[in-house]
C-alpha cells in the first residue's frame, strides 16, 4: 500500500512581490502536483477560490513585519521603524473599511495525499489495526492508520486583527526607544499567532465522479464498441466509493446502488441519454455533504 504526498505552498507574499496576481500563475504552480484530470482541477479551483479572499493590505503588512525583523536583527532601527509604519498603515486602511474585521486570510497552500491501494488492502490494514488496539498497542495502530488518507487539504492562514495592530504599535514604540530585541520578539510572537483553517477535499469520490463522466462520454459515443471500457470505468468508480467509505469520507450506499443499476443497463446495451443523470446527481450531492 503506497501513499504519495505533494505540498503546493502558494506563498502569497512572494507572489505579490513578483507582481503575479492573476489565476494563470496559480494554475501553473498547482500543475506541479501528481494529480491530474478532475482531481487536479478541483484542487486548483479550490486554491483560486481561497486566494480570491486574500487581502492585499494584510499580506503587505505581514511582509513589512518580516522585513522589520530582519532590519532589527541588523540594527537598522530607522529602516525597521519605516517598515513598521508601513505595516501599521496597511492595517489601518483595512480597519477603516470595516472596524469589525476579525480574521484576514494572508496565505494558502495545498497538500495532496493520494492512497494507492484497493479496498481489499485497506480492509486488511483496518483488521490489523483493530487487533493492535485490542492488544493495547496504541502507537503501532496509530502508525498503521496514518497512511490511510486520500485527499486534498487546502490550508489557509488568517491574521487575527484583534492582536496584530496592537502588537505592531507596541513594537514600533520599542524600536523608537532602542529596545530592538524586545521589538523583534513581539513581531516574531505575533507572526506565529496566525490561525490556520483547513478545507479537506476527499479524492475517492472525486475520482469516482471523473470515472462516471468518462464512462458516460465513451458509452454515448459508441454503446457497442465502448461498452466494456465504460463498464471498467464504472467498476473502478465503485471501488473508489468503497475506498472512500472505508477511509471515513462518507456513506455512499445509495450512490453505489445506482451505480450497480447503471452498470446493469450498460451491460444490456441501453443507450438512454439520461442513463447517467441520476448517478451524477447523487455523486454531486454526496460530495457536497462531505
CA distance 225 to 257: 25
Three cell numbers at 264? 446493469
274 and 241 in one domain? yes
Residue 59 belongs to a domain = yes
What pLDDT was estimated at residue 25?
Answer: 29
212 and 90 in one domain? no
Number of separate helices (H) and strands (E) present in the chain: 13, 4
More confident residue, 180 or 16: 180
164 and 235 in one domain? no
* Domain-ending residue, one of 193, 218, 246: 193
What pLDDT was estimated at residue 233?
Answer: 95
280 and 235 in one domain? yes
Three cell numbers at 122? 485497506
175 and 72 in one domain? yes
What pLDDT was estimated at residue 172?
Answer: 96
Closest residue by Cα to residue 168 from 289, 87, 79, 273: 87
Q: Say what the alpha-carbon torsion angle 17, 21, 25, 30 is, to the nearest 10 degrees.
A: 90
Q: Domain count for the chain, please give it.
A: 2
Residue 133 belongs to a domain = no
- 276-285, long-range: CB within 8 Å, 24+ apart, which pairs? 276/212, 276/215, 276/216, 279/212, 279/255, 280/209, 280/212, 280/213, 280/216, 282/254, 282/255, 282/258, 283/205, 283/208, 283/209, 283/212, 283/255, 284/209
181 and 283 in one domain? no
100 and 212 in one domain? no
Dihedral angle sign, alpha carbons of residues 62, 63, 66, 68: negative
Residue 168 belongs to a domain = yes
Residue range 92-98: average pLDDT?
Answer: 87
276 and 177 in one domain? no
* Domain-ending residue, one of 136, 169, 193: 193
Residue 141 belongs to a domain = no
Residues 6+ apart with CB under 8 A from 289: 250
CA distance 83 to 87: 6
Closest residue by Cα to residue 198 from 149, 252, 140, 250: 149
Residue 277 belongs to a domain = yes
Closest residue by Cα to residue 168 from 63, 98, 20: 63
216 and 178 in one domain? no
Q: pLDDT band for position 34 (50/70/90)? A: very low
64 and 167 in one domain? yes
Domain that holds residue 18: 10-109+157-193
284 and 263 in one domain? yes
> What is the Cα Rg of the chain in Å?
25
Q: pLDDT band for position 16 (50/70/90)? A: very low
Residue 224 belongs to a domain = yes
More confident residue, 4 or 199: 199
CA distance 219 to 225: 8
* Cell 461498452 sits on residue: 227
pLDDT single digits (tens) 248-258: 999 999 999 99
* Domain-ending residue, one of 193, 215, 239: 193
Environment class of residue 274 by beta-carbon count within 10 Å: exposed (0-12), middle (13-18) or buried (19+)? exposed
**189-193, 231-235, 266-270: which range is least confident on average?**
266-270
Q: pLDDT band for position 273 (50/70/90)? A: confident
35 and 161 in one domain? yes
Three cell numbers at 262? 447503471
3-class secondary-structure state, position 110: strand
Residue 38 belongs to a domain = yes
**20-29, 164-173, 180-189: which range is least confident on average?**
20-29
Residue 20 belongs to a domain = yes
Amino acid at each position: 500500500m503506497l501513499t504519495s504526498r505533494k505540498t503546493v505552498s502558494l506563498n502569497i507574499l512572494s507572489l505579490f512581490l513578483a507582481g503575479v496576481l492573476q489565476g494563470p500563475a496559480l494554475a501553473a504552480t498547482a500543475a506541479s502536483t501528481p494529480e491530474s484530470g478532475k482531481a487536479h482541477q478541483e484542487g486548483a479551483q479550490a486554491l483560486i477560490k481561497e486566494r480570491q479572499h486574500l487581502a492585499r493590505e494584510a499580506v503587505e503588512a505581514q511582509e513589512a513585519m518580516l522585513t522589520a525583523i530582519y532590519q532589527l536583527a541588523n540594527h537598522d532601527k530607522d529602516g525597521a521603524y519605516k517598515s513598521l509604519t508601513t505595516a501599521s498603515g496597511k492595517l489601518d486602511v483595512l480597519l477603516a473599511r470595516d472596524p469589525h474585521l476579525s480574521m484576514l486570510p494572508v496565505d494558502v497552500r495545498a497538500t495532496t495525499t493520494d492512497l494507492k491501494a484497493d479496498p481489499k488492502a485497506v480492509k486488511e490494514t483496518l483488521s490489523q489495526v483493530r487487533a493492535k488496539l485490542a492488544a493495547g498497542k496504541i502507537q503501532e495502530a496509530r502508525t498503521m492508520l496514518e497512511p490511510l488518507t486520500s485527499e486534498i487539504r487546502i490550508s489557509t492562514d488568517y491574521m487575527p486583527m484583534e492582536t496584530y495592530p496592537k502588537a505592531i504599535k507596541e513594537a514600533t514604540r520599542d524600536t523608537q526607544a532602542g529596545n530592538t530585541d524586545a521589538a523583534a520578539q513581539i513581531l516574531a510572537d505575533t507572526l506565529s499567532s496566525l490561525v490556520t483553517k483547513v478545507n479537506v477535499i476527499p479524492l475517492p469520490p472525486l475520482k469516482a465522479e471523473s470515472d462516471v463522466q468518462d464512462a458516460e462520454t465513451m458509452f454515448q459515443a459508441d454503446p457497442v464498441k465502448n461498452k466494456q471500457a465504460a463498464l471498467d470505468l464504472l467498476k473502478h468508480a465503485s471501488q473508489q466509493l468503497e475506498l472512500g467509505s472505508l477511509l471515513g469520507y462518507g456513506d455512499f450506499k445509495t450512490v453505489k446502488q445506482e451505480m450497480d443499476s447503471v452498470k446493469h443497463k450498460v451491460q444490456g446495451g441501453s443507450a438512454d441519454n439520461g442513463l447517467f443523470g441520476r448517478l451524477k446527481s447523487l455523486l454531486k450531492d454526496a460530495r457536497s455533504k462531505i
